[in-house]
Amino acid sequence: MAEQILSSPELLDYVREVSLRDDDILRDLRAETAELPMGRAMQVMAEEGQLLALLVGLTGARTVLEIGTFTGYSTLCMARALPAEGRVITCDIFDKWPAIGAEYWRRAGVEERIDLRVGHALDTLAELTAEQGPESVDFVFIDADKAGYPAYYEASLALLKPGGLIVVDNTIFFGRVIDPEAQDPDTVAVRALNARLRDDDRVDISLLVMADGITLVRKKSL
């Protein structure tokens, strides 16, 4: 039985050569983001953006919730995968970084599909629940402050329709999850969420050993 292989830079280059479908808008946004402090570490990989778009299309999502916008690269990928009437509700604590992405959203012609909410994520999720009710979202992408992950997961699951999908980013967290010396709030929260997902019988899960760890969480239908 084959085991997980190590991804060398040469192998990653090959994977990108044969599978990555890129364009100038995506490349330009990645390049601008990479110039920001911590920009390379915080933006999703191009392959992950493409995976998100594929998953949005596969699930037939019409309403996507994103927790953590940053410069809006993943926002753009998911908005492009939606039908014209679909929307991405994306929330961030700051408006400075999403403002960078807004120009690229316009260039791609999807700005009308994107609803940016600025404020604390849990406040935004509570507002969404009041506005449209529970089980009103088809797809969720969580990629924000890691200490908030357990709370974001529970609030998102309540908003998610049965059969809907949550994608959680950074669930390996630079390998820190297996370091017993790593007891910072972010690492502890990621570990706690991983353990909760493993034991949560409300959902089906799969942790993908890709990028910094991507966990797929499907809410079971009753």
Query: What is the set of domains in the chain, with CATH numbers?
Result: 44-219 (3.40.50.150)
Partners of 137 in beta bridges: 160
What is the pTM (predicted TM-score) of this model? 0.96
Give me the tens of pLDDT residue by residue for the chain, a chain 222 residues long.
Answer: 567 788 899 999 999 999 999 999 999 999 999 999 888 889 999 999 999 999 999 999 999 999 999 999 999 999 999 999 999 999 999 999 999 999 999 999 999 999 999 999 999 999 999 999 999 999 999 999 999 999 999 999 999 999 999 999 999 999 999 999 999 999 999 999 999 999 999 999 999 999 999 999 999 997
pLDDT of residue 41: 86
Sheet of strand 203-208, all strands in order from the earlier edge strand to the far edge: 114-118, 87-92, 63-67, 137-142, 160-169, 214-219, 203-208
Asked whether the beta carbons of 143 and 169 are under 8 A apart, the reply is: yes
pLDDT of residue 1: 55
- State both tokens at 107: 């260039």
Residue with tokens 């967290």: 173
pLDDT of residue 132: 95
CA-nearest of 100, 41, 42, 101 to 77 is 101
